[in-house]
Amino acid sequence: MTIDFSKYADGLVPAVVQDAVTNKVLMLGFMNQEAVDITHATGKVTFYSRSKQRLWTKGETSENYLLLKSITVDCDNDTLLVRAQPIGPTCHTGADTCFNEVNQNNPADFLWYLESVIAGRKNNPTEKSYTASLFAKGINKVAQKLGEEAVELVIEAKDDNEELFLGEAADLMFHYIVLLQAKGYSLTDVVNVLRGRHK
């Protein structure tokens, strides 16, 4: 990642912070190279405060940290997109965001986050990852596993055990997303088909 800190007189670049799950914009800060390095090293988003004239880790007094998920740079190499998990409200006023918006965690947003995690296991497999082991077994095994989970859900649907039913429903959803990724498709592709059918 190449960041052009020389484009601005103060050597700082804007850093837009976005919730990694909800995609809501949380705040805008500024970073120099040291702030970027410390953010990567600690996993807590750190800025250069123009008012304090020093490095400042978000949450250093309030403990409402921003836990780093990723940093990307824009096409001009002079603005950063920081994706993070907020611990508590982001704004010093107590609001969820510095734009006074509610950063409500829509449960459906988690599916897109989960999909990105599954894609990561596919593209960067590790030996300890169950998901990566599924991809390694090939499409037939992935499809077979989804079929097994579907049968288990149907069986649980005939009873009245909420915990078991929801557990099997979650297993089915997880393995469904794995199958989509194995085939090279995404949840968005399926949603687009559903939108096309909705009239």
Nearest to 187 by CA among 196, 195, 177: 177
For 33, residues 6+ apart whose C-beta sits below 8 A from its C-beta are 3, 5
Domains and CATH numbers, the chain: 5-86 (3.10.20.810), 109-197 (1.10.287.1080)
Q: What's the pLDDT band for 185 if we cut at 50, 70, 90?
A: very high
Q: So what's the pLDDT on residue 95?
A: 94
- Residue 142 CA to residue 1 CA, distance in Å, equals 35
- Is pLDDT above 80 for 107? no
Burial (Cβ within 10 Å: 0-12, 13-18, ≥19) of residue 1: exposed
What are the pLDDT digits (tens) for 125-165?
999 999 999 999 999 999 999 999 999 999 999 999 999 99
Kindly report the length of the chain: 199
DSSP alpha helices (H): ranges in the chain? 33-42, 109-123, 130-137, 139-157, 162-183, 187-197
- Residue 162 CA to residue 118 CA, distance in Å, equals 26
Q: So what's the pLDDT on residue 147?
A: 97
Mean of the per-residue pLDDT values of the chain: 94
Residue 52 structure tokens: 């304090």
Q: So what's the pLDDT on residue 194?
A: 93
Burial (Cβ within 10 Å: 0-12, 13-18, ≥19) of residue 75: exposed
Sign, CA dihedral 93-99-102-104, equals: negative
Q: So what's the pLDDT on residue 21?
A: 83
- Residue 167 CA to residue 132 CA, distance in Å, equals 21
More confident residue, 27 or 110: 27
- Residue 149 CA to residue 33 CA, distance in Å, equals 48
Amino acid at 75: C
